[in-house]
Amino acid sequence: MVLAIVVAVSVWVGEPLIAVALAFAATLPFRSVVLVAVAIVLAAGGSVRSDHAWNGLRPDQLGDFEGWVRLVDDPQPYPSSTRVIVDVDGERYEIWSRGRAQQLRVREWRGGQWISVSGRRTQLDAQRAGRVAWQHVVGEFDLDWASDVDEGGPIAVASNRVRRAIERAATTLPDDDGALFRGLVVGDDRDQPQAMIDRFRASGLSHLTAVSGQNVAFVLASCGPLLRRLRRWPRLGVTVGLILWFVALTRFEPSIVRAGTMASLSAMAYATGRERAPIRILALAVLGLVLIDPLLVWSIGFWLSVGATTGVITVGPALAKRFAALGPFALPLGITLGAQVGVVIPVTLVFGRLPLVSIPANLLAVPVAGGVMLYGMPAGLIAGWLPLTAPVLMAPARLGTRWVDTVALLGERLEPGGVWPWVGWAVVAIVSVICVAVGVQRGKNQSLHGDPSPDR
């Protein structure tokens, strides 16, 4: 994990000499010449990669363009415009579509499609360029007109068919439940109203609509009966293929790329009989992804995903063990607190708050949301392809999404204002520290006086 942190910091700093100095200082206490040498090499390489990535954000050519462009992602609707990222001759530009007629047409596009367009490529201002750098956007494309649409390659066609089926199934749900259902199942939050987005953020539940490791685990679990019938290497190939398919289906969001990489590394370790320690797999995933795409360091979604995962696999189990007296609530509470510890810094810096109500909200919403994720993919596909089955198949999904949204609504209303959330978190931290200290002391006492169990 030390090497992953060293590389991430080196990429963020971007100066080779500073990066090497930081790597040396971070690894010197371990008294390992090999570790120090590896850290220095990776730090230097990471800083060079970072510089190269930022230089790559300078557009090679600006001005008029007429031809075919590829949609990188689905269009993102806003109150008065629609944003879409397109690939123009190997460079990414953002299109801001304004005007009702044009927006209606643009919103029908899907990621992976090829569109015949005419327009002009322009430079982004420095502030805007910094905000969209992690998406590799180099400029803005002023759209004049768009005509023909080509569905794209096999992967784009297959993923868009699945997403359209989920969308058709979601339309059978009332009010905004359909938009939430799509967010839970495939991370498609485009049509969620601002009020829903606000209440999920205020209650600490916005992570539920960002696909992550839980979604990947459910996809693999649903295919478990098939995978178990295969031999080791074919099973590995099919498993990695499923993961890549789901990552493509969910549009390569940073959180799902991190989760997919970890799942693939875990599958490879299992097939080869190597150690599958979660923290080691997370470190390898971060190390590899940051070296491949240094601009991920500037994605808040990536750091929220990494931070939450770190907390879940380190702090979570330790707290759950100390909360053993709570019985079945020990593990969920420990995992929830662990995730909050992992994201406290990025959440506070970016959003300026850490909802206190997120503890009970997650305990109430996450199990039900997980059920919707597990059930929603197969049910949504069948309901989308066989509309007559939708009323029956989507009924459980409706109950689940309604429950999750109600928890978010109550959480938003019950979240205290002012300094009280911070006071509450201070109390939670003190209680947690006391529980850990008591647990450690109890363990020491047992080791001193011997194990009182009958087996002794």
Q: Measured between alpha carbons, how far is 74 from 254 in angstroms, rounded to an integer?
A: 15
Q: Measured between alpha carbons, how far is 456 from 454 in angstroms, rounded to an integer?
A: 5
What per-residue confidence (pLDDT) applies to 441? 63
Burial 377-407 (b: 16+ CB within 10 A, else e): bebbbbbbeeeeebeebbeebbebbbbbbeb
What per-residue confidence (pLDDT) applies to 237? 93
Structural contact between residues 296 and 302, judged by C-beta atoms closer than 8 angstroms: yes
Q: Measured between alpha carbons, how far is 216 from 185 in angstroms, rounded to an integer?
A: 10
Look up residue 31 and give its amino acid.
R
What per-residue confidence (pLDDT) applies to 142? 95
Q: How many CB atoms lie within 10 A of CB 29?
A: 8
Q: What is the pLDDT of residues 370-419, one digit of tens each?
A: 999 989 999 999 999 999 999 999 999 999 999 999 999 999 999 988 88
H-helix or E-strand containing 318?
Answer: helix 315-322
Burial of residue 206 (number of CB atoms within 10 Å: 0-12, 13-18, 19+)? buried
H-helix or E-strand containing 338?
Answer: helix 330-351
Q: Measured between alpha carbons, how far is 441 from 265 in angstroms, rounded to an integer?
A: 37
| DSSP string covering 259-305 | HHHHHHHHHHHHHHT----HHHHHHHHHHHHHHH-GGGGG-HHHHHH
Residue 158 structure tokens = 């297959």
What per-residue confidence (pLDDT) applies to 289? 94
**Predicted confidence pLDDT, tens digits, the chain (456 residues):** 788 888 888 888 888 888 888 888 888 888 788 888 888 888 898 898 898 899 889 898 899 999 999 999 999 988 889 999 999 999 999 999 988 778 888 989 999 999 999 999 999 988 899 889 999 999 999 999 998 999 999 989 999 999 999 999 999 998 789 999 999 998 888 888 889 999 998 999 988 888 787 888 888 888 888 888 889 899 999 999 999 999 998 888 898 999 999 999 999 998 888 878 899 999 999 999 999 999 999 998 899 999 999 999 998 888 888 888 788 888 888 998 999 888 888 888 887 778 999 999 999 999 999 999 989 999 999 999 999 999 999 999 999 999 999 999 999 999 988 888 888 888 888 887 777 777 666 666 666 666 554 444
Give the residue among 340, 393, 324 at the shortest CA–CA distance from 165. 393
Please list the alpha-helical segments (H only) found in 126-174. Answer: 126-131, 154-170
Structural contact between residues 311 and 343, judged by C-beta atoms closer than 8 angstroms: yes
Among all chains, which residue has been given the structure tokens 């799509």? 182
| DSSP string covering 403-443 | HHHHHHHHHHHH---TTHHHHHHHHHHHHHHHHHHHHHHHH
Q: Measured between alpha carbons, how far is 43 from 7 in angstroms, rounded to an integer?
A: 5
Q: How many CB atoms lie within 10 A of CB 454?
A: 5
- Residue ranges matching CATH 2.40.50.140 in the chain: 63-152
Q: Measured between alpha carbons, how far is 327 from 452 in angstroms, rounded to an integer?
A: 21
Structural contact between residues 361 and 407, judged by C-beta atoms closer than 8 angstroms: yes
Q: Is 257 left (phi over 0), alpha (psi -120 to 50) or beta?
A: alpha
Among all chains, which residue has been given the structure tokens 């810094």? 345
Structural contact between residues 62 and 123, judged by C-beta atoms closer than 8 angstroms: yes
**This prediction's pTM:** 0.87
Pick the CATH number of 63-152 from 2.60.40.1660, 2.40.50.140, 3.30.565.10, 3.40.50.300: 2.40.50.140
Q: What is the pLDDT of residues 259-311, one digit of tens each?
A: 999 999 999 998 888 878 899 999 999 999 999 999 999 998 899 999 999 99
Residue 120 structure tokens = 């002009």
Structural contact between residues 370 and 218, judged by C-beta atoms closer than 8 angstroms: yes
Among all chains, which residue has been given the structure tokens 């995978």? 227
